Amino acid sequence: MGKPVAIELKNITKTFGQKVIANKDVNLIAYKGEILSILGENGSGKTTLMNMISGIYFPDEGQIFVEGQEAVIASPKDAFGYGIGMIHQHFKLVNVFTAAENIVLGVNDGRYNLKKSKAKIKEICDKYGFNIDLDKKIYTMSVSEKQTVEIIKVLYRGADILILDEPTAVLTPQETDKLFDILRNMREDGKSIIIITHKLNEVMEISDRVAVLRKGENVGVVNTCEVNPSKLTELMVGDKVELNINRTEPKNVADRLVVNGITCYSRDGVKLLDNVSFTAKAGEILGIAGIAGSGQRELLESVAGLQKLQSGEILYHNPKTGSIENLRDKTPMQIRNLGVRLSFVPEDRLGMGLVGNMDIVDNMMLRSYRKGKGMFLRRQKPKNLANDIVDRLQVVTPSVSTPVRRLSGGNVQKVLVGREIASSPKVLMVAYPVRGLDINSSYTIFNLLNEQKEKGAAVIFVGEDLDALLELSDRIMVIGSGRITGTVDARTATKEEIGLLMTKSEREREGDNND
């Protein structure tokens, strides 16, 4: 490579406490005018490494060189001094400020003059092809717009090295394309761009080189044009992983959950679900696809008794008694008392599904602590269950009395899913069950879902990765802006088909406005 070096890491090591080695002897070079992907499973130390470059952590050992000179980066401010800017996964913006105000915030370049600053921002926008209304307040913005503001903010501060942490996780395919165009423009301009990701297709699409991290170590840097996804996967996980999910034909299919025309509004009167009807059948997996925030959460919470509905009904066909129960307007407690075997793995694992500060045993009790007479808890059964789940799902934890917040994301999810299927559910709802999980954990979860399907549960699987949805589900229902825009057979449908359905309601709405 004849390109000049932008930043070089030498033997960077970072540990947390004595046990956790986040990065070990990492050597890495990023050139000017290139896009470098940092690929790795969750917990492989990608974000920690980048946090050291951007001044959030300080390395225990090793050196960082910026343009050939050794750099000491002890704070994000130092990092900006070296022209390093990071765009975090969780945006750090002031909600009540406008885009322009957020961009100039904290930049000390003489007197505060928004007009002048705006001209400078405009220049940046035109140069790289950003499209944004600078006077728009952050709280009225979409996720993609917020991200744009973050990127402009970093550029405005004169960053030459941009680090993006999982930038596409929150974007639609179209928005991702737009982002990638901008990143390419920046590369042409000689910026050095580092993206952290675990999506292989994006690595292949955007980057010039890929550095693969595994367990905190740099296991290889390759030119993207010389590799293929399966080679990268191999590098990432160490040994080859079977990528096929074993999908069996549904057996003994019967209606289990029939939802008829449910509608609900948010507190501000926004329609979250609009006349949603569907049937979840025993013995099959019903996938739900859609852009994040299209009503998936409300849909599941309605069934779980956590969402107030304005209209419609949710009918549960009890396989034992043959009776039909309407779950609408019932509390989770009442639903359970009706003998409805409903399990729910919510999207927010530690904020809803589990209690982070409690240990695994106490988390096992969440659903069942009321069992048994008297006012005292019985911890023996939950303890057995905890041990069982730790063994069977290979949860990595010091013991069952470790607070779950200290486990890694994949292990947290195993604990949660393990608990939810322990009650042998007849309806199992899972929301983004593999989000943030490494490949091995993901497959553990997928296999558990398949197992439940074979046992005759009606599985409802809300996902974001269309590949996984297409491979795992029997039918896929697509939701857009709170409406069901279509249901397809997962065995024959294509990604494009689903992608079109995902944006269907948006386009219809735009059509309405034009009339």
Q: Interface residues with another protein (CB under 8 A)?
A: 16-19, 58, 60-61, 66, 69-72, 74, 78, 81-83, 158, 304-306, 331-333, 335-336, 344, 346, 348, 351-358, 362, 365-367, 369-370, 375-377
Contact present, 91 and 144 (Cβ < 8 Å): no
The least distance separating another protein from the CB of residue 369, rounded to whole angstroms, comes to 6
Contact present, 435 and 464 (Cβ < 8 Å): yes
Between 157 and 483, CB nearer to another protein: 157
- Burial grade of 186 (CB within 10 A; 0-12, 13-18, 19 or more): buried
Element (H, E) at 273: strand 271-282
Between 43 and 305, CB nearer to another protein: 305
The least distance separating another protein from the CB of residue 82, rounded to whole angstroms, comes to 6
Q: What CA–CA distance (Å, rounded) separates 275 from 514?
A: 24
- Please name which of 314, 318, 346, 319 lies closest in space to residue 330, comparing C-alpha atoms: 314
The least distance separating another protein from the CB of residue 143, rounded to whole angstroms, comes to 21
Alpha-helix runs per DSSP H in 129-172: 143-156
Between 134 and 303, CB nearer to another protein: 303
Between 403 and 409, CB nearer to another protein: 403
Between 140 and 331, CB nearer to another protein: 331
Between 174 and 401, CB nearer to another protein: 401
Q: What CA–CA distance (Å, rounded) separates 186 from 203?
A: 17
- Please name which of 483, 105, 457, 422 lies closest in space to residue 274, comparing C-alpha atoms: 483
Contact present, 427 and 280 (Cβ < 8 Å): yes
The least distance separating another protein from the CB of residue 351, rounded to whole angstroms, comes to 6
Q: What is the identity of the amino acid at 295?
A: G
Report in angstroms the alpha-carbon separations of 377 from 53, 92, 270, 359, 382.
Answer: 48, 42, 42, 15, 10
The least distance separating another protein from the CB of residue 233, rounded to whole angstroms, comes to 32
Q: What CA–CA distance (Å, rounded) separates 249 from 284?
A: 8
Between 93 and 159, CB nearer to another protein: 159
The residue length of the chain stands at 515
Report in angstroms the alpha-carbon separations of 123 from 74, 85, 131, 146, 191.
Answer: 31, 19, 12, 19, 16
- Per the structure block, which two tokens stand in for 377? 């808890």
The least distance separating another protein from the CB of residue 491, rounded to whole angstroms, comes to 33
The least distance separating another protein from the CB of residue 52, rounded to whole angstroms, comes to 12
The least distance separating another protein from the CB of residue 331, rounded to whole angstroms, comes to 6
Between 60 and 325, CB nearer to another protein: 60
Token look-up 């955007």 returns 206
